Amino acid sequence: MFLEVFKAWLSTYGYLALFGSLMFGIVGLPIPDETLLALSGYLVFKGQLSFLPTVLTSFLGSITGISLSYVIGRTGGYRVLHKYGARFHITDEKVVMVEGWFERVGKWMLMIGYFIPGVRHLMALVAGSSKMRYPVFAGFAYAGGIIWSLTFILLGYYLGDSWAEIERHRLVLAFGSASILCAILIIWYVRSKSAKSRIESP
């Protein structure tokens, strides 16, 4: 039922509905973002939406939402989280968990976190609360936004009429995509360290 409502909404209002849904979903409203992106890819497959505008709208919606979360964290910090977090299912335990991930992974968490349901909006709030500089935040968070958007739009497009399978396997797909991204980041990090060592060696 929920998916049918979104399908009708996207078919009627198109890119505006996609932008608004992703923006509010990343801020914290209970919207199945990956499924929405896959549905958008399916509508591209059916010819009801165009590929490039769909990708651009999804990207803009995601970075607008995550930027709002960053601003909330930057200006209100933990006071906002403690006062209003429960309304968006943000518990102190979740905040502590994401803080721990940030300590271990650092700014790369802004890219990886997109692929972990329930963490997207928290990572931006924590980044803002920790006073991370905006250029650093934007560089990693916005890169993650385009990778995340493209991943699920393309999945919906190539699955075609079977796109709804993403709803049943959404968590598997999300963690699988996150694992692939982590592997790419690890390979890049190891190679960059090796290159740096060669340069510094006499």
Percent of the chain at pLDDT > 70 equals 63
Is pLDDT at 64 greater than 90 in this prediction?
Answer: yes
User: pLDDT tier at 63 (50, 70, 90 boundaries)?
Assistant: very high
Mean pLDDT, range 46-74, rounded to an integer: 91
Is pLDDT at 168 greater than 90 in this prediction?
Answer: no
pTM of the model: 0.75
The pLDDT of residue 180 is 58
Lowest mean pLDDT among 35-49, 82-96, 97-111, 164-178: 164-178
Half-sphere exposure of 81 (CA within 13 A, CB side): 25
For 72-126, write each residue's pLDDT tens digit: 888 876 666 666 565 555 666 666 766 676 766 667 778 877 877 677 777 888 8
| Mean pLDDT value across the chain | 76
Four-point Cα dihedral 54, 60, 65, 71, nearest 10: 180
Cα 60-65-67 angle, rounded to 5 deg: 95
Is pLDDT at 185 greater than 80 in this prediction?
Answer: no
Per-domain boundaries in the chain? 2-200
Is residue 178 a contact partner of residue 112, using CB atoms and an 8 Å limit? yes
